Amino acid sequence: MGGARGKKTGPWAVKDHTQLIADTQSGEEGGLKRAVGAVDLTALGIGAVIGTGIFVVIGQGIQDAGPAVILSFILAAVTCLFSALCYAELASSIPVSGSAYTYAYATLGELVAWIIGWDLILEYGVSVAAVAVGWGGNLNEFLENTFDYTLPESISTAREDGGVLNLPAVAIVIAVMFLLARGVRETAKANFIMVIVKLVVLAFFIVVAFSAAFNADNLSPFAENGVDGVVTAAAVIFFAYIGFDAVSTGAEEAKNPSRDLPLAIVGSLVICTVIYILVSVAAVGSLDAKTLGESDAPLAAVLDEGAGISWAASLLAFGALVAITSVLVTIFYGQTRIFFAMARDGLMPRGIAKVSPRSGTPVRLTIGMGIAIATLAAIAPLEQIVKLVNIGTLFAFFLVNVGVIILRSTHPEMERPFRVPFVPFFPIIGMCLIVYLMIQLPGETWWRFGVWLVLGIVIYIFYGRHHSVLQRASRS
């Protein structure tokens, strides 16, 4: 595979966007199969976003904002929108796997690209492991509510909760691993079915809550904690929206990336926002805020205590189980594509990214990551390292906003099927909102993040820069 000579050399070398696109059509790893359309990609985004967040996090937000949590969902969505627009422009202009890693390579240079790629590997990997652990907990909740049976704690909970080996978490990771290895078309079909199921469950909740339990008196007092309560809740609820960026990791497998990617990225965020607002209005209007805020399963509480449907807990537990599985599929998928892009560029071992001619997917990479994540989910104490997911996501969002501004300046002639309006103002607003949320994170999250990035820089110095395709081309 050839490389492009950047205008700069060394760790600050930038890989031209035309070379990034050309590399998808050549190379010893083989090319990914273009097999998914706008509907599949939108389902990918919805699958990544709607998980335990809407089933659980709404209760946490109500504790801070009361019924005004509705406004918190809107504020969090607006915060995400600026980054979503930037992702849409870059994904349609540079339809290559790798998401923020690839965009950083085209704008900020190889070292920054490596740093964000290294960050995303941690973010996605820990996310999958943590979500898998949560899947095991929801499986037990579903079994208890439906069959009055639970798996032994020693084999079904995280170590910090008293477990020894979390077998349900291992089983779901391995199952998703094999699904991804079979092919992107099969993965997209399975994810689409799961998205439909969880949307049906949420639609059922909305209809029943509005028709059988809604009482406008529950909306008063609406914002007893004022603007501070709404903003505090929005900072929590923001993380219920994380995942729409996973759509951009499928750029190389989109049938018509210039059209489909912007539609899917912005469309999935808009659809999820509408669903979140409808669910939050239905919830706070059907049960008093104090009860919702104290419940571990607020939506089930609405149907049980508000509407008087005793089997609601089973239905909502099933919906959460399907929702979490869908999140696992999409986030795991995103991680393998980011790793694939880094390996193709030589920053990771290139052999592991070889694409199977039969499935059109990087099978070795998928299985290797699956085993590593399953091990992490089975035995690792996740309570502390999972906090890194939040700061890692915000860091990626920040760089994507920066990337739009830089590319508009350095490559004004580049074809942009989708354009962010009011550049640089919209990306700057997005950056400011992201920084505001980042400074709300605790200090321990920052220093752990710093340690991970320092480790990544060391690996780049001793491995990445010597094996980089771009660096080798510049030296030849």
In a domain, 350, yes or no: yes
Is 368 a domain residue?
A: yes
Average pLDDT over residues 313-326: 86
Cα dihedral value 55, 60, 61, 63, nearest 10: 140
Is pLDDT larger for residue 95 or for residue 391?
Answer: 95
Indicate whether 81 pLDDT > 70: yes
Cα gap 190→55, rounded to integer Å: 21
- Residue 370: inside a domain, yes or no? yes
For residue 2, the SS3 value is coil
Sole residue written with tokens 């929801």 = 138
Is the pLDDT score of 338 beyond 80? Answer: yes
Cβ neighbours for 194, distance < 8 A, ≥ 6 positions apart: 47, 322, 323, 325, 326, 329
For residue 214, give the CATH number of its domain.
1.20.1740.10
Q: What is the mean pLDDT of residues 446-475?
A: 89
The set of residues, in sequence order, having a beta carbon less than 8 Å from that of 148 and lying 6+ positions away, is: none
Range of the domain at 115: 10-475
Q: Which two tokens stand for residue 123?
A: 């973010």
Answer yes or no: is 425 within a domain: yes
Q: 36 has which bridge partners?
A: 254
Per-residue pLDDT for 24 more than 80?
A: no
Q: Which pLDDT tens digit goes with each residue over 143-163?
A: 887 888 888 888 877 776 777
Residue 5 falls within a domain, yes or no? no
Residue 413 pLDDT > 50: yes
Tens digits of per-residue pLDDT, 439-451? 877 788 888 888 8
Return the bridge partners of 254, or none. 36
Is position 247 within any domain? yes
Tokens found for residue 202: 């949420």
Q: Where are the alpha helices (DSSP H) in 148-255?
A: 167-182, 184-208, 226-237
Residues with Cβ within 8 Å of 425's Cβ and at least 6 positions away in sequence, in order, are: none
Section 407-417 average pLDDT:
91
How does DSSP classify residue 4?
-
Neighbour tally for 415: CB within 10 Å: 9
Coil, helix or strand at residue 34? coil
Are the CB atoms for 339 and 121 separated by under 8 Å? yes
For the chain, percent of residues with pLDDT exceeding 70: 93
* 196 — pLDDT class (breaks 50, 70, 90): very high
For residue range 109-120, list pLDDT tens digits in order: 999 999 999 988
Residues 164/343, Cβ–Cβ less than 8 Å: no
Residue 361 falls within a domain, yes or no? yes
Q: Are 91 and 247 in contact (CB under 8 A)?
A: yes
Residue 318 lies in a domain: yes
Q: What are the two backbone dihedrals, phi and then psi, of residue 113, each rounded to the nearest 5 degrees?
A: -60, -45
Residue 136 structure tokens: 């095991």
All residues at 6 or more sequence positions from 344 whose CB lies less than 8 Å from its CB, including other chains: 1, 23, 27, 29, 350, 353, 469
Residue 190 confidence (pLDDT): 93
Distance separating alpha carbons of residues 149 and 418, to the nearest angstrom = 51
Question: If you average pLDDT over every residue of the chain, what do you get?
Answer: 86
Number of domains forming the structure of the chain: 1
Residue type, 74: I
Which one, of 124, 140, 246, lies nearest residue 173 by Cα?
124
Buried/exposed code over 439-464 (b: 16+ C-beta within 10 A; e: otherwise): eebeeebeebbeebbeebeeebeeeb
The amino acid sitting at 314 is S
Query: Per the omega criterion (within 30 degrees of 0), is the bond before 221 cis?
Result: yes
**Amino acid letter at 76?**
A
Token pair, residue 461, equals 């110095």
